[in-house]
């Protein structure tokens, strides 16, 4: 393992523990990432020194809290190369961001007979809001097919996106299949038909460089807790011309301009969409996580994870009785590996792996239409991050072999 990344691993105190008397091999990073000491320390520092409500008080603590909160917004803007900081809205997470869009942009722009295009690989967060919007508005929900190896069928995307399409909602990176979608090409197709593209970036932003201007996306959503930040903080990026035209998502303090007895007016973006007391420490913690990731370099992280997958995937494919979903070519398979063992339920598999200190996910991964598409009820899933190493992979492989022997599968 590269010495730099071995030193980075030491920044994560939770990884130093043992689980069931075995070293912890944490391979559930698609669900949530662990936190470096720098982020933990930043949260403690804020509560010990600067805790106050933002945008309200003229006293010193209030001004410091507001400055740090807005500084975090600027860090997010720079991290994803958004044109303006006011195009960055803080939310509770990816799910909240996508529901915000369905309740605002969707409600005001979708009518009966319109079409919304998604794919079979969508997380429920980027499916159910559009499904329910289509039902309410009597619109049509269309699904882009997948290729035989689980990649997005771009030819089918070109067929499904038509002049009737108003919204294309797509994952940048699948949380099940280990594939990265060509968002730039999808955006070009979408815009040819005067539709908007909404991207679920929850599995992309933590693992690779993301430039929303280069991708030419209209909206982009992601979560802080999957990229070293605290839980309960997320981001919605949107083009300012679209955000300005959208109604507020919630009403209350700090999102108003003037309130009269019988009518009110709204303040500017992004605050129009940030009603009430926000998750200030979540934003500040996310800002610190961005500092940490930036210092390492997102391309360095992407390259390192690719090396790890190139090591892990062929070895997993070589285990008799294992089925790996998604591409079997490590050059196009990212750090999410979903798999099953013949005649063993994935929940039993995950429980057995946990006895050997290996933490993986088991279930439908909030992607039930995809599970049905694949012809399975559930899968186990190992997902990697830059603090994992080959020893974690070897521990996973050994645990799978021991599980096979124990269950005689």
For the annotated catalytic residues, the residue numbers are 366
Burial of 275 (0-12, 13-18, 19+ CB in 10 A): middle
Tokens of 35: 């936190």
Residue 264 neighbours by CB distance under 10 Å:
13
Distances (CA, A) of 70 to 53, 219, 263, 275, 280: 13, 20, 29, 15, 9
The Cα–Cα gap between 171 and 278 comes to 26
Tokens of 382: 């190992």
Local structure of residue 142 (DSSP, 8 states): E
DSSP letters, 258-293, are EE-SS-EEE--TTGGG--SS--HHHHHHHHHHHHHH
Residue 122's closest CA among 186, 177, 161?
177
The Cα–Cα gap between 409 and 254 comes to 59
Residue 162 neighbours by CB distance under 10 Å:
12
What is the phi/psi pair of residue 71, to 5°? Answer: -65, -40
Tokens of 270: 């992004």
Chain centroid to CA 213: 18
Q: Residue 18 pairs with which residues in a beta bridge?
A: 23
The Cα–Cα gap between 18 and 22 comes to 5
Chain centroid to CA 280: 20
Local structure of residue 292 (DSSP, 8 states): H
DSSP letters, 32-74, are -----HHHHHHHHHHHHHT---TTT--SHHHHHHHHHHHHHHH
Distances (CA, A) of 364 to 175, 374, 379: 11, 11, 6
Tokens of 330: 């490590």
CA angle 397/382/303 to nearest 5° reads: 95
């Amino acid at each position: 393992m590269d010495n730099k990344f071995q030193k980075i691993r030491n920044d994560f105190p939770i990884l130093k523990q043992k689980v069931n008397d075995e070293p912890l091999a944490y391979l559930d990073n698609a669900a949530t990432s662990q936190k470096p000491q720098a982020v933990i320390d930043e949260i403690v520092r804020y509560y010990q020194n600067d805790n106050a409500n933002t945008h309200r008080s003229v006293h010193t603590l209030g001004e410091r809290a507001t400055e740090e909160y807005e500084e975090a917004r600027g860090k997010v803007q720079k991290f994803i190369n958004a044109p303006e900081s006011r195009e960055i809205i803080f939310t509770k997470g990816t799910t909240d961001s996508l529901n915000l869009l369905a309740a605002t942009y969707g409600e005001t722009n979708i009518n009966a007979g319109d079409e919304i295009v998604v794919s079979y690989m969508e997380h429920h967060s980027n499916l159910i809001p559009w499904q329910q919007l289509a039902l309410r508005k009597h619109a049509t929900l269309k699904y882009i097919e997948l290729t035989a190896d689980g990649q997005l069928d771009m030819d089918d995307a070109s067929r499904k996106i038509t002049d009737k399409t108003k919204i294309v909602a797509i994952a940048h990176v699948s949380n099940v299949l280990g594939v990265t979608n060509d968002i730039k090409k999808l955006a070009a197709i979408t815009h040819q038909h005067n539709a908007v593209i909404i991207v679920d970036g929850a599995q992309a932003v933590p693992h690779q460089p993301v430039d929303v201007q280069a991708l030419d996306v209209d909206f982009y959503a992601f979560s802080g807790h999957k990229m070293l930040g605290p839980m309960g903080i997320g981001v919605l990026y949107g083009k300012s011309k679209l955000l300005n035209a959208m109604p507020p998502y919630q009403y209350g303090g700090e999102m108003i301009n003037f309130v009269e007895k019988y009518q009110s007016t709204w303040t500017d973006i992004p605050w129009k969409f940030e009603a009430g007391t926000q998750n200030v420490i979540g934003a500040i913690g996310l800002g610190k996580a961005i500092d940490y990731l930036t210092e390492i370099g997102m391309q360095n992280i992407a390259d390192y994870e690719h090396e790890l997958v190139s090591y892990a995937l062929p070895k997993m494919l070589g285990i008799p009785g294992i089925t790996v979903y998604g591409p079997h070519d490590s050059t196009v398979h990212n750090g999410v590996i979903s798999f099953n063992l013949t005649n063993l339920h994935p929940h039993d598999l995950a429980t057995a792996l946990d006895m050997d200190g290996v933490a993986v996910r088991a279930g439908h991964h909030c992607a039930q239409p995809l599970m049905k598409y694949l012809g399975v009820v559930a899968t186990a899933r190992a997902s990697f991050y830059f603090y994992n190493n080959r020893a974690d992979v070897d521990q996973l492989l050994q645990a799978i072999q021991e599980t096979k022997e124990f269950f005689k599968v």
